[in-house]
Amino acid sequence: MSAALLLRLSVEDFLYQEAALLDDWKLREWLALFSPSARYEIAPTGDPDAGTLSSADALFLVADDRERLEQRVIRLQKPQAHAEYPHSRVRHVYSNVRILKDTGAQIEVNSNFVTFRNKRGITATYMGWHRYLLSRSEDSYLIDLKRTVLDLDGLVPQGKVSLLL
């Protein structure tokens, strides 16, 4: 197999593992996949340039540095995070994984996704794409950036992003 194919397969394995942790609400383990200077962002809906906007210039849905991401994880494990108590059922489906760039130090990856959330008889669908910046770490990867761009004009009818996409 070509080196490019092997790289993609190992990145896919990593991303599927990441998705599995989210599906199981194993958020502490999920957080451990992020590097100390990582960012987790969900870009504004309804903006054609959402993929390239910066949270310095625009109102995002989520723009967490590592510290706030950790606080988000802590919060989501409390019963007082009412929208997610009890936790909703979620299923993250990743596909169309592409390696965009490999500088050696960092790999740039795109993935399409569909995430389903079910609670109290209502199923919400979130679709879009993730951009990852991954750095190599021993025999695996660490996430330096996970940026989510939703293919949605707005959160109608989803109402909120109380889960992690």
Beta-strand pair 62-65/89-102: unpaired
Instruction: Figure out which of the listed residues 82, 101, 105, 138 binds other proteins, where binding follows CB under 8 A.
Output: 82
Report how far residue 43's alpha carbon sits from residue 150's, in angstroms, rounded to the nearest whole number.
Answer: 7
- Region from 25-33, 38-46, 89-97, 137-145 binding other proteins, contact rule CB under 8 A: 38-46
Lookup: tokens for 156: 């109608």
Cβ distance 10 to 114 under 8 Å?
no
What is the rounded (10 degree) CA torsion for 101, 102, 108, 113?
A: 80
Q: How many residues bind other proteins (CB under 8 A)?
A: 36
Instruction: Figure out which of the listed residues 28, 89, 98, 160 binds other proteins, where binding follows CB under 8 A.
Output: 160
Q: Of the two residues 6 and 83, which places its CB atom closer to other proteins in the complex?
A: 83
Q: Residues interacting with other proteins, by CB under 8 A?
A: 42, 44-47, 53, 55-63, 68, 71-72, 74-75, 78, 80-84, 153-162
